[in-house]
Amino acid sequence: MKKKNNTEDQDLFSTLTEGIKPLKQDKRHFRVHSKDKKQIEEKEQQLHADSYFSDTYQPHLPDEGAMRWNRDDVDSFEVKRLRRGDYQPDLLLDLHGMRQSEAKLELAALIQACIRQQSHCCCVMHGHGTGILKQNIPMWLAQHPHVMAFHKAPKEWGGDAALLVLIDIGDVPYRR
């Protein structure tokens, strides 16, 4: 009985598949495409941002007064010079409306650009908003090894909604 059932199934299958042609095999080879220069630079910026900026690190920042910070090896007079406006920022970064992850990447890119262009001072505008960037950007800047000092910007550069940042670009004399 099983043999009879089997032959009926085969007959039914052959009538159903009558006239069907087999599919041709695609000859696509899946290989890794070479990355272009833009992708490599974005990956490098992501690596810099991830390696320098931690959300859990809490540097000692002032509770009262203007937001300011300087590295231990930097004279506090440099912070005073930033406050007075002795340094003019060469590069400006506007972070209004960005997410934290985007802001980290842009901040790392700004510091790298300052080093490439031999610029000692830059301005980071974070805005007022909900205060997330205003709170996190000083913590991120304090972690970066090339940031010497920062201070709340004077009114002409953004006031409470911006920071002037002093960058260590190496052994090049200061430009005033």
What's the total number of domains in the chain?
A: 1
Q: Among 95, 102, 106, 155, which Cα is nearest to 128's? A: 95
Spatial separation of the C-alpha atoms in residues 176 and 48, rounded to whole Å: 29
pLDDT in tens, 10-36: 889 889 888 888 888 777 767 776 777
Q: Any idea what the CATH number is for the domain that residue 146 is in?
A: 3.30.1370.110
Q: Is residue 79 included in any domain, yes or no? A: yes
Q: Residue 176's pLDDT is what?
A: 42
Q: Residue 51's pLDDT is what?
A: 66
Residue numbers of the chain with a pLDDT score lower than 50: 1, 174-176
CB 88 within 8 A of CB 174: no
Q: Residue 164's pLDDT is what?
A: 94
Q: Is residue 172 included in any domain, yes or no? A: no
If you count DSSP H runs as helices and E runs as strands, how many of each does the chain have, helices first? 5, 5
pLDDT in tens, 94-114: 998 888 888 888 898 899 889
Q: Residue 70's pLDDT is what?
A: 87
Q: Which two tokens stand for residue 91?
A: 């590069």
Q: Is residue 35 included in any domain, yes or no? A: no
Q: Residue 1's pLDDT is what?
A: 45
Q: Is residue 4 included in any domain, yes or no? A: no
Q: Is residue 145 included in any domain, yes or no? A: yes
Q: Is residue 40 included in any domain, yes or no? A: no
Q: Is residue 50 included in any domain, yes or no? A: no
Q: Is residue 129 included in any domain, yes or no? A: yes
Helical spans, DSSP H, in the chain: 2-16, 37-52, 76-84, 100-116, 132-143
Amino acid at 61: L
Spatial separation of the C-alpha atoms in residues 90 and 110, rounded to whole Å: 11
Domain range spanning residue 150?
66-167
